[in-house]
């Protein structure tokens, strides 16, 4: 999601825009590597569906170009068989395609299902290609909807919400893809997969949590990162920065927003015991944006002075949505995150005026699913109207797409493992929402230690949305998950390479929540060995 704004606003091509878990794995046994012939296979329709068609096409592999706005490429993909199963729900007039890519040679015996991004329900080809390259048989579904920022399917011909396609996107198509993918694999290789995994970030992360909550037997392991849980709440909350700017009639320039972020990171950097360009315990950062009033910054060659009005806007954005009476509705943008992602503005017009440019995902949610008017102008939303929309979204959509049920008893009983990392500088999905969900699970299921047996959360300092698989850092969550599922090795920490505020790589061991990383007082600040995981400060 984090690259969509850049793409839409500037038309910049995307490189490696798709979330990619990177682990490869050795075959489970010799039989698992049996070559597969590319032919159609019998598929039993999942409950409530009908199979419209089944096709099988041999693909030579090589370089796979990702489709749609996300783009991206993956090279070195071996030859595979692509089996496409089209499903429909009788009476719903939907057509959901489930694609399963089967390595011709070297299958590692495992099944991997892949999630989507923004309003894209599944993978655009790059993740599937990466999975095949790493030896997995892989499945993804389009749920019968569109691309990442295509919401043309939201309303039916009568202008009402298309509940069938929303249900597809929210939950049922992902489960059906798991059912179909397993069937295809078992038929093609004449044996079932030894282990089944789900991987996804953002929308894909939400889909992973949905699977654990609603279909606990689908997967042995779920890697669900920066999960878009609490969708009905946080999706409206992501529009808050625009609402603030429009109501305060103040639009800080991008470089002014950067100045606020840089100042906050600098002020809170040493809270973990050392200045290393990372805020390791962001919950303790209480930087007051009013400290920058009067500061001069240069934007595109023009000197600007930060005003009290600018500071008010930033304070409200960091604080998060509230009602007009001060009731807290949701978490704000983290202090280390890129404020311009959600507080985007246009270039000045001939008179020097600018206006807000909302991020498309929450804009579309409000206009299409709440107002049922795709052309609705979100810039007209007042503070009181924002509260009404927030409450409306909760009332209408929590049961459909909230994905926040803390009862994971069935998933625990099934033996499943859930692993999540989430960047503490996530500019689109506040980490606090994921933390709040984890704490709800702990309260429901007996506390931290009991939940750690099957569900672990790792927070990544200095990391933005889905930012640990590319230029913004990296970690191998899938390798940690497979070790946990297949060998019982629960990850105590998650080794990662992070990017600090000076754009330098530093090694860190991400701590299992609720612990945080703290400098030992000696050693190289760039080395993971110089830090240890400790209990957080109590507030």
Both tokens of residue 358? 């909302």
Mean pLDDT of the chain: 93
pLDDT of residue 402: 98
Class of residue 337 by CB neighbours under 10 A (exposed 0-12, middle 13-18, buried 19+): buried
pLDDT of residue 83: 98
Task: Give the Å distances, CA to CA, from 291 to 132, 256, 260, 319.
Answer: 52, 13, 9, 16
Statement: the pTM of the whole predicted model exceeds 0.85 = yes
Tokens 């409950």, located at residue: 47
* Choice among 404, 426, 472, 509 that is catalytic: 426
Task: Establish whether 282 is a catalytic residue.
Answer: no
Q: What percent of the chain has pLDDT over 90?
A: 87
DSSP notation for 175-188: HHHHHHHHHHHHHH
- Shortest CA distance to 199 belongs to which of 217, 215, 220? 220
On the question of pLDDT at 367 being above 60, the answer is: yes
Q: 347 CB contacts (<8 Å, ≥6 apart)?
A: 354
State pLDDT tens for residues 103-162. 999 999 999 999 999 999 999 999 999 999 999 999 999 999 999 999 999 999 999 999
pLDDT of residue 283: 76
Residues β-bridged to residue 418:
222, 455
Task: Give the Å distances, CA to CA, from 343 to 208, 258, 309, 337, 389.
Answer: 29, 11, 15, 11, 19
State pLDDT tens for residues 204-227. 999 999 999 999 999 999 999 999
Both tokens of residue 185? 């694999």
Task: Establish whether 465 is a catalytic residue.
Answer: yes
Rounded CA gap, 287 and 260, in Å? 9
Task: Establish whether 529 is a catalytic residue.
Answer: no
State pLDDT tens for residues 388-429. 999 999 999 999 999 999 999 999 999 999 999 999 999 999
On the question of pLDDT at 29 being above 60, the answer is: no
pLDDT of residue 10: 37
Rounded CA gap, 165 and 145, in Å? 7
Q: Which of 2-16, 178-192, 254-268 has the lowest mean pLDDT?
A: 2-16
Residue 391 in 3-state DSSP?
helix
On the question of pLDDT at 18 being above 70, the answer is: no
- Shortest CA distance to 262 belongs to which of 234, 295, 303? 295
pLDDT band at residue 59, thresholds of 50, 70 and 90? very high
Q: 132 CB contacts (<8 Å, ≥6 apart)?
A: 61, 77, 78, 80, 101, 102, 103, 138
pLDDT of residue 99: 98
Residue 287 in 3-state DSSP?
coil
* Choice among 465, 472, 476, 512 that is catalytic: 465
State pLDDT tens for residues 452-505. 999 999 999 999 999 997 667 899 999 999 999 999 999 999 999 999 989 999
pLDDT of residue 319: 97
State pLDDT tens for residues 315-363. 999 999 999 999 999 999 999 999 999 999 999 999 889 999 999 999 9
Q: Which one is predicted more confidently, 176 or 32?
A: 176
Alpha helices in 320-382 (DSSP H): 360-364
The pLDDT of 51-77, averaged and rounded, is 97
Q: 18 CB contacts (<8 Å, ≥6 apart)?
A: 66, 70, 72, 117, 123, 124, 126, 127
* Choice among 117, 171, 196, 202 that is catalytic: 202
State pLDDT tens for residues 260-271. 999 999 999 998
């Amino acid at each position: 999601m984090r690259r969509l704004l850049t793409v839409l606003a500037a038309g910049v091509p995307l490189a490696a825009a798709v979330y990619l878990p990177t682990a490869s794995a050795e075959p489970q046994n010799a039989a698992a590597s049996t070559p597969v012939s590319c032919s159609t296979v019998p598929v039993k329709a999942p409950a409530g569906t009908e199979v419209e068609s089944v096709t099988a096409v041999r693909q030579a592999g090589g370089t796979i170009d990702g489709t749609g706005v996300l783009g991206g490429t993956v090279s070195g993909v071996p030859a595979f068989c692509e089996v496409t199963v089209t499903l429909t729900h009788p009476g719903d007039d939907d057509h959901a395609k489930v694609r399963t890519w089967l390595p011709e040679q070297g299958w590692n015996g495992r099944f991997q299902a892949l999630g989507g991004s923004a309003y894209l329900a599944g993978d655009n080809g790059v993740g599937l290609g990466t999975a095949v390259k790493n030896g997995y048989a892989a499945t993804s579904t389009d749920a019968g909807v569109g691309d990442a920022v295509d919401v043309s399917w939201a309303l039916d011909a009568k202008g009402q919400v298309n509940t069938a396609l929303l249900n597809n996107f929210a939950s049922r198509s992902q489960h059906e893809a798991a059912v179909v993918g397993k069937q295809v694999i078992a038929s093609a290789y004449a044996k079932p997969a030894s282990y089944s995994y789900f991987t996804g970030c953002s929308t894909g992360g939400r889909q992973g949590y949905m699977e654990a909550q609603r279909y606990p037997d689908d997967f042995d392991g779920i890697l669900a990162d920066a999960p878009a849980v609490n969708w009905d709440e946080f999706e409206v909350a992501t529009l808050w920065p625009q609402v603030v700017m429009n109501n305060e009639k103040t639009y800080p320039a991008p470089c002014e927003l950067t100045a606020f972020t840089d100042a906050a990171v600098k002020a809170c950097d040493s809270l973990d015991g050392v200045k290393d360009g990372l805020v390791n315990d962001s919950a303790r950062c209480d930087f007051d944006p009013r400290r920058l009033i009067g500061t001069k910054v240069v934007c595109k060659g023009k000197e600007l002075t930060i005003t009290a009005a600018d500071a008010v806007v930033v304070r409200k954005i960091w604080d998060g949505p509230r009602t007009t009476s001060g009731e807290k509705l949701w978490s704000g943008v983290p202090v280390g995150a890129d404020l311009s992602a959600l507080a985007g503005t246009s270039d000045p017009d001939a008179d020097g005026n600018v206006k807000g440019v909302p991020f498309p995902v929450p804009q579309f949610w409000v206009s299409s699913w709440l107002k049922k008017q795709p052309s609705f102008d979100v810039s007209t939303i007042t503070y009181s109207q924002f509260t009404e929309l927030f409450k409306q979204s909760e009332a209408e959509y929590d049961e459909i797409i909230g994905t926040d049920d803390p009862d994971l008893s069935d998933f625990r009983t099934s033996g499943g493992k859930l692993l999540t990392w989430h960047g503490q500088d996530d500019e689109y999905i506040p980490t606090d929402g994921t933390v709040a969900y984890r704490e709800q699970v702990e309260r429901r299921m007996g506390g931290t230690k009991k939940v750690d047996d099957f569900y672990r959360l790792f927070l990544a300092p200095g990391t933005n949305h889905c930012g640990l698989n590319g230029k913004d850092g990296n970690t191998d969550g899938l390798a940690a998950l497979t070790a946990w599922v297949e060998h019982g090795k629960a990850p105590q920490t998650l080794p990662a390479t992070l990017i600090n505020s000076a754009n330098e790589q530093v090694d860190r061991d991400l701590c299992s929540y609720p612990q945080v990383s703290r400098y030992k007082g000696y050693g190289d600040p760039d080395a993971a060995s110089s830090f240890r995981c400790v209990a957080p400060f109590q507030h």
